[in-house]
Every structure is written in C-alpha cells, then in structure tokens.
Amino acid sequence: MSLAFELIPAVDLIGGSSVRLAQGFEITSSQAETPEELIAGFISDGAHWIHLADIDQALGRGSNIELVTDLISKFPETSFQLSGGIRDQFTFDQAANLSPARINISTSSLANRKWLEDLVAKHKNQVSFALDFNQGQVVARGSKEAHGSLDEVLDFLISIEISTYIVTDNQRDGMLAGPNYDLLSHVIERTEAKVIASGGISSLEEIHSLSTMQGIAGVVLGKALYSGKFTLSDAFGVIKN
C-alpha cells in the first residue's frame, strides 16, 4: 500500500475544548487532553495531517478561530484540513488566511450553489467538499436540512469539478458502526476525484479494507482513536504492511 494513503486524525472543537461527537449532534464526552496535547500526540504517532473541525461554527453558535489560529501556528510542519461551517465567503476567507493545506467546504454551502461554483473555480486544488449523507439525501451534519438526493448533488459537484470529497454517512459518524462501503463505492463510481472516507471506522481491519479500495485516498479517524480501539501508530502499521 502506498504511503500516499492519508490517515487523518480528527480534533473537534467546542468552546475551546476538544470533544467527541456522535452523528454530528450529540457530544459524547470531552477529552481530558487539550487540543494542543492531542495534536502533539498524533504527530508523535506519525500523523502528517490533522482534521481540525470548529463545531461551534458548524452549528452557527460562534467560532473557535483564535484557538484554530494558535494551533496552526504551533505546528507549522503539519498539514491541517480545516472544517466546520465553512459555507460562505467570510468563513472561507477566515480559513484561507491561515494557509491550511486543505479547506473542507461544508455541505450547507449547497444552499448557495453559485457561490460554491465560483469558489471552486478559483480554489479547486485548495478545497475539499464535505459530502454528508443521510438515508439517500445529502444533509449537513448538525442540521436536518436536506440539499438534494445523493445523485442530484453529485451531478452538480461533478459539473463544478470538485477535486476531493470527504464522504460521511451521518448515521454512522461517531458510532463505531463501520464504514458505509456501498456509499463510498457509489461515489467512487461516479467521480474520478479523490475520495476520503469519514465516519464509523472502528477497526484496523476496516482501515486495511479501505486502503485497498481503488479510489479511496485516505480516512478521517475519530471515535476509534479516542475510545482506544487502536492507536494511530497501529493504523500506520496496517497501511505500511
């Protein structure tokens, strides 16, 4: 397996602390470590990427921009994938000013498709799209607002040439229920873009399986790491072998 396969540990921020989420809504617990300590630990275990998500911003109740700015400045050699409520020009510019490796545009940006189309035309290789799925519909985590069927939304996203998808089955997110292989396979079949799996991953066997799927470029890891199902070092051992 090529080491280009990305293992991306997630750090979710609420009120200046790191938390665990379930299905994008429920806070299952706060982390004992600070966000800085978590990131330092992941880097020590071999992480080159960190998925840093501002959950307060995603839920429309403020932001953790000062903390995000501080964390990025403290780990300049790390590639950050910024996420959480990036859905308009203000939130995009705020993220872009920090020069992260990748900006993950929220599913909720589909409410303004012309803006999204113009943004991707200008910043195609800098952005990914959070394709959040719930029972046949595309629904932003943390909301109940559907933005269209999976295939209708994919038709649009393919037409504007999204280069990277972060694909999540909302019902599996934070539930350790395993990846939705059917969903991932469907997205891979529809697009030649990079696909990163997110949500539900619970075992090293699943990481191995995903790493061998043609079209899957990486995984975002959260609950499994925090609940001790395996370590990031263990996961790197799987893809290296």
User: What residues are annotated to the active site?
Assistant: 12, 132
Give the span between the Cα atoms of 84 and 11, in whole angstroms.
11
> Which one-letter DSSP state was computed for residue 156?
H
Q: Are 202 and 174 in contact (CB under 8 A)?
A: no
For the chain, how many helices (H) and strands (E)? 10, 12
| Beta carbons of 95 and 121 less than 8 angstroms apart | no
Alpha-carbon span 240 to 236, nearest angstrom: 6
